[in-house]
Amino acid sequence: MVGNNEKKLLITGGAGFIGSALIRQLMSRTNFRVLNLDKLTYAANPKALVEVETNPNYQFKAVDICDQQALINAFNDFKPDAVIHLAAESHVDRSIECADEFIQTNIQGCYLLLQTSLDYWRQLNERQKSDFRFLYVSTDEVFGDIDENAKACDEQAAYAPSSPYSASKAAADHLVKAWHKTYKLPILITHCSNNYGPFQDCEKLIPKLISLGLEGKPLPLYGQGDQIRDWIYVEDHVSGLIKVLEYGQVGESYNIGGDCQITNLEVAKSVCRLLNTMVQKPHEYAGRFEQLVTFVADRPGHDKRYAINTNKIELNLQWQRKQDFQSGLEKTVKWYMEHL
């Protein structure tokens, strides 16, 4: 992928939170042509792509990745130089309530996309085969719960998923690696920590806290809110994806994180502090949003801590974050206040 700024990228799940941020960044910073395949589930947000809809380098097709014939048609029509696979069911709570869609989309869908990509790749000429990439976007949750004092997970850490969601992502990770080792499909894998930023669905923690706070409703935190997560601003994540796509070594995995390990309670307090400064009376909780923080029964199998080491992408690919947690959160709270 290095050095060619006019590649054709087939992106799955491009109407989702991370996918739409990736497409916006690609359209504004590169000459890549993008075909976005998205099923348009509840988590999709077409409004996040309004600014790119008229870009001649962008096109969209409503496609379920579990529909192999639709995938084959898309590959044959578009003839991509690379695939970035983001489409996934991703909400842990939903996976606990009903795992079926997670198994179908995250495992079966990944398999069908891999097989379609392999069949397509095999008929390319040698130069095209060498240039082709299949980038699979995974999660730090595949590494499971790690002790509070343990070192952050590097790319060689053992997999130990806890939830149906993380187990389905781990299974797909193994499929991607197998298609590389067995069939030589040129793959790349990324593992990212918790994302936040504009256009994220309000079922996720940070937009949930902001939206409920603005409504003056309780801000629920599982247990005592002491679960530790690493947070990364979504624009930094997608810049890392582009860097891996262009410069990553085939067959390798790269962690993309925010170097920001904080508890969910600290996240809630940070949101409340920003709301305290940004929201004026007559809002009932202006200046005292922290009073809305409420602790609720913990969810089953809730991991205490995730943490990933990002030395590899920083040293080998010269990737750097542009936002720290405070600056990214300020942008995020301001955006939701203007758009809710």
Catalytic residue list: 140-141, 165
What is the number of alpha carbons within 13 Å of residue 47 lying toward its C-beta?
8
Determine how many CB atoms are found less than 10 A away from the CB of residue 201: 15
User: For the CA atoms of the chain, what is the radius of gyration?
Assistant: 20
Q: In what order do the strands lie in the sheet with 253-256?
A: 58-62, 33-38, 8-12, 82-85, 133-139, 187-192, 253-256
Euclidean distance between CA atoms 90 and 106, whole angstroms? 9
